[in-house]
Structure 1
Amino acid sequence: MENATASNRPALGMQGRLARICGPGFARPAGAADEVGGVPARWVAAPGTAADAVELLRLAAEHDLAVVPRGAGTKIDWGGAPSRVDLVLDTGRLAGIEESADPSTVEVGAGTPLRAVRAVLARTGRRLTLDPPSADATVGGVIAADEAGPLRHRYGGPADQVSAVRYLDAHGAPATVSRGADVTPAQLLCGSRGTLGLLLSATLRVRPAPPSRIWVSHPVWTPLEMHDLVQGARVEAAEPAAVEVDLPAVPPRGQRRVAAGTAGAGTLAILLEGGPADVRERADWLVDAFGGDAHATGRPPPWWGRYPAGPTEIAVRIEAPVGELHAVVYALRDAVGAPVAVRGSAGLGSVQAALPGDLPPGRAAAILAALRGVLLARRGRCEVLVAPPRLWQVTDVRGPRSHRPRAVALKQHFDPQQRFAPGRLPDRE
């Protein structure tokens, strides 16, 4: 009994140190819900201030603790499992919205829910043009995952909308990076999945909310039909804010179409924004140009801004030249041997695909290898975002080794001790 008590002393001692930094009730032993990609954590701590976060990281460095930052946890498993997780650093208390003298920007704490920022800006007729599918996401989580929604077609992703970031490096030293510096926020934190630093806050671009929004939808049965509609001059001539496609995992090719006048197997939807009269005119023109079953509505399709993969499926992000996207989708279907659900920004060639989650690891790895071969020939790439833990062991989630040098250089420069989420980014070639 005495030996068992003695073996618990280091853990209790560390929890006490974490609690002294964060305050009573804000440090605890990790539970089953705190796993990261199937890897169990040891402790969870939620700093209340930037100074607390500095102390936490210095404590982690002193005791060689592996740290994984976490906001709302909506994408905590994206990008593979770290090799170990000692401390989950919860950013929920690093929240707040600070208006600047410039009404076109706002500084937001990393742990601030995106929906809270939207609500505050809506009071003054403004908005963020970040619209990620993760409804409960925090600002820090969106930036770390480089998560973009339909509006990326016009406004770009998080890297295009962040003008400055404040963060802590692996030693707990504070730093600020502004656009125009040698290392931009995009290069440093957007898409880093919490592997390079702890985001404290971000200065984001703000725009006036549009007076009117209309969605024009057209049924599509095949990737080729999607290609023909998107490549036609009609879509871009309408000045869209977003061009999205939904291609469900429909029955195999050859099955009869549904009755004329009803929705097809998939949908191409175009969002138009602006003044009421102008938007209505553009929408009417686009409906007439498309013909057939095209129609306009003031509400988005039910699938708009949602991911195609369910909780038990493998989520793969695909990026390809717009004119090649249909060929990539066909190749993916051939590799799987059946249609797969695909959804995302058809106007940019950036979509997500949902693969069956019960694929044997070797089979899943072979499908990804075939897909990457097709993408390589078309100057595209793909990345596994979410998958069963067993798959991380048999495939490179970020793609071919040709993409590694930059990731290796960033990791070695900003986190040579592998403090943040070790194993998610390669530390060597």
Structure 2
Amino acid sequence: MKDLDVEGVTLRKGTEADAVCGVVPGRVARPKDTKALGRLLTAARATGATVTPRGGGTALDWGSPPRSLDLMVDTSALSWIDHNAGDLVVEVGAGTPLAELRRTLADAGQRLSYDPLRVGGTVGGALATGVSGPRRLLAGGLRDLVIGMTLVRADGVVARSGGRVVKNVAGYDLAKLHTGGYGTLGVIASAAFRLHPLPPAVRVVSVPLRSREGTERALADLRATTVVPAAVELDRDRLCVVLEGTAEGLVPRVEETLRALGEEGAEVAEELPEDWGLLPTEGTLARVLAPPAELPGLACDLDADVRRYGSVPAGTLYLAFAPGTPADVVEKRLAAIRRVPDRTAVLLRAEPHVREAGVDSWGEVPGLSLMRAVKDSFDPDHRLSPGRFAGGI
């Protein structure tokens, strides 16, 4: 791997701690900036090396194992924040920790309306996995907040789309392709986001998750109100409604929410819990997409041994299987969900014994032929995170 010694890049041997779904990289490279990243990928192309990027390393066990991993690109040095508070815009290096970005924006009374699902993640990692948290209800998913992106292609060329103004429409919307792509189309170097002001006050109204009929009725009553929640979330065995606004304005909205959900067992908090939106870090984890109207029933029908989290309006439910759950139990659960029309189930994280048993992580993937054509166009040699995405992409 001497041919990968390029200016501005530190190189070391990969270890077990660097493993991606159990696959240890041959080398780990840390470029100091975007130009060095471009030189590194140019050299990797010349040697035919397979490449997978890494941010904070919190999702290295997500997705499918790469078929080959010669070089891991550590983006931690690509950490910087350029905040234009007046325009509610920020540009951020891919290696920037989300916690650091959150603190910087909060000091200016602003936020990126994104709830991290993992502790210790980076901006690039959040974009690469593409999974958004509870408050996507009002602001949209993370991909909807991106107004510009800089990335490095498989051949080392630096490409940019969008810009640093909200109404910019220059170029192709590459951000939509790369968000959720697990690094299979390119390595994200930086991104620009639109921001929102921090709300003056927050209230979290929660009630126990009841029967299918009771939960569906409560949600129907909530939709019939004038309340505009920031999130409607299933958090384990409780139904949570997040309201944002002024302290005075929240008083009647909380009362209206309580009337809709029912006051038995209800709790009202003035701030989000510390673990808000965070998914379990152990065990097998699946994401289910279903029509929003069907989500409460699906959640209520699950056995008690499967913990559930998810955004009701977004039709997204996360199933957390206890560590050590047998592979056949996971497989049967996913198969039962996939048999129902308009429902999909994807394994975000599979324990080694589940992966080794050959449990299908993705199920049927609509548009797979188009996805493969896009992969062929962006990475014709299939060297970027090969096999990490659906259909072996």
* Structure 2 portions without partners, runs of 5+: 163-167
- What is residue 296 of structure 1 aligned with on the other side? 268
Cα deviations by residue, 1:273-294 (Å, 9 ceiling, x for unpaired): 0111111221122224423232
Cα deviations by residue, 1:295-339 (Å, 9 ceiling, x for unpaired): 3221334653121x441x110011111111134335654xxxx64
User: Does the 8 Å contact 1:243/1:271 carry over to 2?
Assistant: yes
Quick one: which of 270, 273, 277 aligns to 2:248?
A: 277
- What is residue 165 of structure 2 aligned with on the other side? none
Quick one: which of 220, 226, 250 aligns to 2:215?
A: 226
User: Does the 8 Å contact 1:22/1:48 carry over to 2?
Assistant: yes
For residues 59 and 72 of structure 2, the distance between their equivalents in structure 1, rounded to whole angstroms, comes to 14
Quick one: which of 170, 181, 189 aligns to 2:178?
A: 189
- What is residue 71 of structure 2 aligned with on the other side? 87
Task: Please show how residues 182-331 of structure 1 align to structure 2 within 5 Å.
Answer: 183-234=172-223, 237-247=226-236, 266-289=237-260, 290-301=262-273, 304-307=276-279, 309-311=280-282, 313-329=283-299
Of 346-355 and 87-96, more deviation after overlay is shown by 346-355
The answer to whether structure 1 residue 56 and structure 2 residue 28 are counterparts is no
Task: Please show how residues 394-409 of structure 1 align to structure 2 within 5 Å.
Answer: 394-409=358-373
- What is residue 384 of structure 1 aligned with on the other side? 347
SS at structure 1 position matched to 2:234: strand
Cα deviations by residue, 1:218-239 (Å, 9 ceiling, x for unpaired): 1123444333322323576311
- What is residue 343 of structure 1 aligned with on the other side? 309
Give the TM-score of the pair, scaled to structure 2: 0.91
With over 3 angstroms needed to count, the CA separation of the structure-2 counterparts of 1:395 and 1:182, relative to structure 1, is farther
User: Does the 8 Å contact 1:408/1:426 carry over to 2?
Assistant: no
For residues 227 and 85 of structure 1, the distance between their equivalents in structure 2, rounded to whole angstroms, comes to 47
With over 3 angstroms needed to count, the CA separation of the structure-2 counterparts of 1:239 and 1:330, relative to structure 1, is closer
Amino acid across the alignment from 1:104: L
For residues 150 and 301 of structure 2, the distance between their equivalents in structure 1, rounded to whole angstroms, comes to 42
Cα deviations by residue, 1:215-274 (Å, 9 ceiling, x for unpaired): 111112344433332232357631100111123xxxxxxxxxxxxxxxxxx211111101
Larger CA Rg, structure 1 vs 2? 1
* Number of residue pairs aligned between Structure 1 and Structure 2: 386
Quick one: which of 314, 327, 350 aligns to 1:361?
A: 327
Of 55-64 and 223-232, more deviation after overlay is shown by 223-232
Identity %: 33
Quick one: which of 87, 91, 99 aligns to 2:83?
A: 99
Cα deviations by residue, 1:21-42 (Å, 9 ceiling, x for unpaired): 335xx32101110110001111
SS at structure 1 position matched to 2:317: strand
- What is residue 38 of structure 1 aligned with on the other side? 22
With over 3 angstroms needed to count, the CA separation of the structure-2 counterparts of 1:268 and 1:242, relative to structure 1, is same
For residues 391 and 305 of structure 2, the distance between their equivalents in structure 1, rounded to whole angstroms, comes to 37
Give the TM-score of the pair, scaled to structure 1: 0.84
SS at structure 2 position matched to 1:287: helix
Cα deviations by residue, 1:11-69 (Å, 9 ceiling, x for unpaired): 5x35xx43x4335xx32101110110001111111100111101110111011111110
With over 3 angstroms needed to count, the CA separation of the structure-2 counterparts of 1:294 and 1:134, relative to structure 1, is same
The answer to whether structure 1 residue 415 and structure 2 residue 375 are counterparts is no
Of 101-110 and 111-120, more deviation after overlay is shown by 101-110
Amino acid across the alignment from 1:244: E
Structure 1 residue 341: deviation in Å? 0.7
Structure 1 residue 363: deviation in Å? 4.5
For residues 44 and 235 of structure 1, the distance between their equivalents in structure 2, rounded to whole angstroms, comes to 54
For residues 308 and 201 of structure 2, the distance between their equivalents in structure 1, rounded to whole angstroms, comes to 28
For residues 270 and 386 of structure 2, the distance between their equivalents in structure 1, rounded to whole angstroms, comes to 46
For residues 180 and 194 of structure 1, the distance between their equivalents in structure 2, rounded to whole angstroms, comes to 24
For residues 161 and 141 of structure 2, the distance between their equivalents in structure 1, rounded to whole angstroms, comes to 18
For residues 21 and 365 of structure 1, the distance between their equivalents in structure 2, rounded to whole angstroms, comes to 47
Cα deviations by residue, 1:124-145 (Å, 9 ceiling, x for unpaired): 2111101112131111111111
For residues 172 and 389 of structure 1, the distance between their equivalents in structure 2, rounded to whole angstroms, comes to 33
